[in-house]
Amino acid sequence: MPQTLGIIGSGMIGTAVAKLAVAAGLDVVVSNSRGPESLADLVAELGERARAATPAQAARAGDLVVAAVPLKAYDQLPAAELAGKTVIDAMNHHPDRDGRFAELEAGGLTSSALVQRHLAGARVVKAFATIDFLHLGTLARPAGAADRSALPVAGDDADAKAEVVRLLDLLGYDAVDAGTLADSGRLAPGSPAHVQPYMGERPEGLSPEEAHRWFLASPGVPVPAARVKELIDAGR
């Protein structure tokens, strides 16, 4: 198992993963594009197992590295420092935020395959991309718990996927093999397996403000491995 988790991107998913990792006894090295000094409050909240660094330093330090930046910044991931590493791609393509990528729109490439092309020396595995930040924290459960949820994992390297499966287990989740990076489009926003199952059904007729309050108050809905597999298959 990894002893140190490098995290590139200190947004909501990166922070949620860092909190789970520290709770599981891992050291974390968190980073963002704004510099280590901007992470002082987060590191103080995470405690003595956490430290701040630059993305390149986090890449070098991590036994495993989570990339959780907006997809539009994928080409800023430090490819040289990530060579030889297993990199967990927690990113999604949101055109309104990231802009449009001709190759993705043509359907010949998934966003994770695009990341893998940039990180040619790394082993990219898609994970953490199908659950929102809030319920990533609230739904984590010990191994064997009756209400344990599962998360999809997609990648081209079997050993790298196995590493990520072990990490998920440590952090509180079962895993479901979703195939290769070429198959990872079945996990994209709008697919049956993406986010909504873990949130549960939102009541109808809520205003945007009411919907936000409902989301923040919702503990989430456990989604076991068998159900995750059904949802992945429904996205074919």
Task: Report the CATH number at residue 71.
Answer: 3.40.50.720
The answer to whether 128 and 153 are in contact (CB under 8 A) is: no
Q: 47: number of CA atoms within 13 Å, CB side?
A: 11
For residues 180, 123, 21, 202, the Cα torsion angle rounded to the nearest 10 degrees is -30
The model's pLDDT over 66-93, given as tens digits with 9 standing for 90+, comes to: 999 999 999 999 999 999 999 999 999 8
Residue 47 burial class via C-beta count within 10 angstroms: exposed 0-12, middle 13-18, buried 19 and up:
exposed
Q: What is the total count of domains within the chain?
A: 1
**Given this model, what pLDDT does residue 100 score?**
73
**Given this model, what pLDDT does residue 162 score?**
97
**Given this model, what pLDDT does residue 81 score?**
98
**Given this model, what pLDDT does residue 4 score?**
97
Which range marks the domain in which residue 41 is found?
4-234
In whole angstroms, what separates CA 192 from the centre of its chain?
17
**146-161 mean pLDDT:** 98
Q: Which of 41-45, 93-97, 111-115, 225-229 has the lowest mean pLDDT?
A: 93-97
Q: Which of 51-60, 98-107, 119-128, 193-202 has the lowest mean pLDDT?
A: 98-107
pTM for the model stands at 0.94
Strand (E) or helix (H) holding 183: none
| DSSP 8-state code for residue 192 | T
Residues in the chain: 236
